[in-house]
Amino acid sequence: MCGIAGQLNLDGRNVSPAARASAAAMCDALYHRGPDDAGLIASGPLVMGMRRLAIIDLAGGKQPISNEDGSVSVVCNGEIYNYRELAARLRARGHLFRTGSDVEVLVHLYEEHGVDFVRYLRGMFAFALWDQRSRRLVLGRDRLGIKPLHFAVEGRRLMFASELKGLIAGGVKRELNFEALHHYLTLSYVPAPHTIYAGVQKLLPGHVLVAEAGRVRLERYWRLEQVPGRDDVPVGEYVEGLRSLLADAVKSHLVSDVPIGVFLSGGLDSASVLALMRQQVTGPIKTFSVGFAETSFNELARARATATRFGTEHHDMVLPSSVTDVVPTLIETFDEPFADSSAVPLYYLSRFAREHVKVVLSGEGGDEVFGGYETYVADKLARWYRALPGMLSRSLIPNLVGRLPVSHRRVSFDYKAKRFVQGALRSPVGAHLSWKEIFSDEAKAELYADAAGGLPSTGEFYANTAAGCGSSDWLARCLHLDTQIGLPDDMLTKVDRVTMAHGLEARVPLLDHPLVEFMANVPSELKLRGFRKKYLLKRAMQNRLPRNVLRGPKRGFNVPMPRWLARDLQEFVRDTLSPERIAANGVFRPETVTRLIDEHTRQERDHSRSLWALIVLEHWMRAQNAPTATEVTATDANTEHEQVSLSQKA
């Protein structure tokens, strides 16, 4: 696991000493991702380097790594789980290996297959590979977007880095991207390819960037086809197929020269990972959980019971009720506004786990792969709701739901019911977005100090993404949206940044791509059977997990944010979002923000997600010394920067 960064002169000029120093500074900004070692290489117009977290071949796996004659070099963030099989094939073809590192297979695979070598990799990765003879730079990112990679083209210079802070250290322009801000207010994160800075992009999952002969192009090397399979295949065949792939996925993710632990929430996904790991590991396994003082949010008892069932060395902690001190740290961790509140407990848990292990397995991705979100049930109900007479769906039921008292307990019934009636009559894609959105387009119009004309709505962004799904099946389309947007840009971003902030590697075996491809072709009825979520996974893990895990409600790192913001953190909220601060930024209407605070404090509405998104944004703008609205104009990445467009090559 590492952080990588570099610069390429697209005009072919050799890099200067100043550029080398700049690239070194970019790598230094990523120290937290790799505190064990550093490396830098300069070759003609390129300089690139890395910070290393040593996991495999601790002594010999230093990077950059080159081929036999030094003509091909690579730096890589992540793990290649099938490197041993690949290395054996390459040795049989005459390639010489100098290390036992998984990264070394990249240079030899490239020699054999050119840019297409990435299709042979199984793992989580973001890499930069330099072909000195062809003067070609290849940047690549894994299929699901587990590992991050950002890039920018300024003038005739291409810069890349694992995190935005690496690009900032290299001097990238920090110009606010209003389209990204607009999407953030809807989603609580910035969706790819956007970043919060105009001219800086995220390399999309399953893509490579190739820079040669002064030009830059993007190519897609992998596409997940959500096409549910045949209903006439016996369920038992799907169950056995899934069991085999689950066992293989976890086994492959155990390759390491250091001990591996498990993040354990007490829910189905992490418990499944632990159960499968226990089949492979006879020795001690360390597990880690986090809980809350608020009983409705505390899942420690369930996690402890699962840990006891599998005989682990369990460690858990209770989160403090005041988390204001960690907000500036989280801003620095994510580099751009990121308001998924579950990052808070995960930050504390990662710091806690790093005291014991260097690598953890996580159940992340299970909801998107197996069909585990409550929103899928809401999507199914909405199809029926839209068939009701208009008086019921548009008047009677919304009026009754609107009278429900507001509760600040864990994802309360009133919250879910009100969310449902607000979005159920939209289009299927619009309804799916509505369960997730923080500020609707109407709410944003009321929030903005000035009209935000010309900015595409997040609904359009969702609809365009949904159009890329290869199936008309409604659940397949929802899974496609969540796999393409929410998974890489929210869930995996959260896990990567928060764990790497502590030099901790998180692996996600439920996102092993053969397993993901298999599940994409499973009939939807075996994912959501009636209202039973993750049906096939539960069948596969039957008799292997405690009954309360198999039948219990969805778990995870849910945060008691509604109560915190209304009580414990009320002073913090009012200070951070004071009318004076909001007016000074010039982006939002102070009176609208104050109304949200007042309604939430009086428990008239649950605005916790909206308020947290505004708190994070306010702290980010303050920390980044971002320009105010009067100093910036809404820009695309093609105004003063060279926009890289995606080619049709696949």
Which is nearest to 287 in space by CA: 322, 258, 327, 314?
A: 314
Which is nearest to 414 in space by CA: 404, 423, 422?
A: 404
Among 2, 76, 469, 478, the active-site one is: 2
User: Is there a catalytic annotation at residue 27?
Assistant: no
Provide the domain count of the chain.
3
In angstroms, the CA 438 to CA 542 distance is: 37
Backbone angles phi, psi at 109, to 5 degrees: -60, -40
Q: Region 609-634: what's the mean pLDDT?
A: 73
Q: Would you say residue 200 has pLDDT above 60?
A: yes
Q: Flag whether 645 is in a domain.
A: no
In angstroms, the CA 70 to CA 638 distance is: 36
Q: Region 507-512: what's the mean pLDDT?
A: 98
pLDDT tier, 451 (very low <50, low <70, confident <90, very high otherwise): confident
Asked if 539 and 603 sit in the same domain, the reply is: no
What does each C-alpha distance from 170 to 21, 28, 159, 239 come to in angstroms?
A: 9, 10, 8, 50
Residue identified by tokens 């322009």 is: 173
pLDDT tier, 244 (very low <50, low <70, confident <90, very high otherwise): very high
pLDDT of residue 174: 93
Positive or negative CA dihedral for 107, 111, 112, 115?
Answer: positive
Residues, the chain: 650
pLDDT of residue 645: 39
Q: Flag whether 208 is in a domain.
A: yes
Asked if 114 and 34 sit in the same domain, the reply is: yes
Residue identified by tokens 């209407």 is: 589
Q: Which of 122-131, 524-533, 566-575, 621-630 has the lowest mean pLDDT?
A: 621-630
What's the CATH code of the domain at 295?
A: 3.40.50.620
In angstroms, the CA 344 to CA 615 distance is: 14
Tens digit of pLDDT for each residue in 108-137?
999 999 999 999 999 999 999 999 999 999
pLDDT of residue 634: 34
pLDDT of residue 324: 77
Say if residue 547 is exposed, middle or buried (CB neighbours under 10 Å; 0-12, 13-18, 19+).
exposed
pLDDT tier, 485 (very low <50, low <70, confident <90, very high otherwise): very high
Q: Region 68-73: what's the mean pLDDT?
A: 96
What's the CATH code of the domain at 45?
A: 3.60.20.10
User: Read out DSSP for 432-492?
Assistant: HHHTT-SS-HHHHHHHBSS--TTPPPHHHHHHHHHTT-S---HHHHHHHHIIIIIIIIIIH
pLDDT of residue 58: 74
In angstroms, the CA 510 to CA 253 distance is: 10
Tell me which residue range forms the domain holding 590. 560-631
Asked if 80 and 213 sit in the same domain, the reply is: yes
CA 361 distance to own-chain centroid: 15
User: Read out DSSP for 199-238?
Assistant: TEEEPPTTEEEEEETTEEEEEE----------TTS-HHHH
In angstroms, the CA 484 to CA 492 distance is: 11
In angstroms, the CA 424 to CA 420 distance is: 6
Q: Flag whether 393 is in a domain.
A: no
Q: Would you say residue 632 has pLDDT above 60?
A: no
Pairwise pLDDT comparison (101 vs 631), residue with the higher score: 101
Residue identified by tokens 């009100």 is: 418
In angstroms, the CA 188 to CA 221 distance is: 29
Asked if 281 and 358 sit in the same domain, the reply is: yes
Asked if 212 and 242 sit in the same domain, the reply is: no
Which is nearest to 183 in space by CA: 191, 195, 193?
A: 191
pLDDT of residue 335: 95
Other C-beta atoms lying within 10 Å of the C-beta of residue 472? 7
Last residue of some domain: 220, 252, 282? 220
Q: Would you say residue 295 has pLDDT above 70?
A: no
Query: What is the enclosing helix (H) or strand (E) of 290?
Result: strand 286-292
pLDDT of residue 229: 82
In angstroms, the CA 222 to CA 633 distance is: 36
Which is nearest to 494 in space by CA: 431, 557, 540?
A: 557
pLDDT of residue 643: 36
Q: Flag whether 528 is in a domain.
A: yes
Asked if 270 and 351 sit in the same domain, the reply is: yes
Q: Are 594 and 573 spatial neighbours (Cβ–Cβ below 8 Å)?
A: no
pLDDT of residue 56: 75
Q: Which of 61-70, 123-132, 210-219, 553-562 has the lowest mean pLDDT?
A: 553-562
pLDDT of residue 67: 95
Tens digit of pLDDT for each residue in 49-67?
999 888 877 777 789 999 9
Q: Would you say residue 636 has pLDDT above 50?
A: no
Other C-beta atoms lying within 10 Å of the C-beta of residue 639? 12
Q: Which of 55-59, 96-100, 215-219, 619-623 has the lowest mean pLDDT?
A: 55-59
pLDDT of residue 44: 96
Considering the entire predicted model, what is its pTM?
0.92
Q: C-alpha angle 585/586/587, rounded to 5°?
A: 95
Asked if 116 and 178 sit in the same domain, the reply is: yes
Q: Would you say residue 501 has pLDDT above 90?
A: yes
pLDDT of residue 559: 77
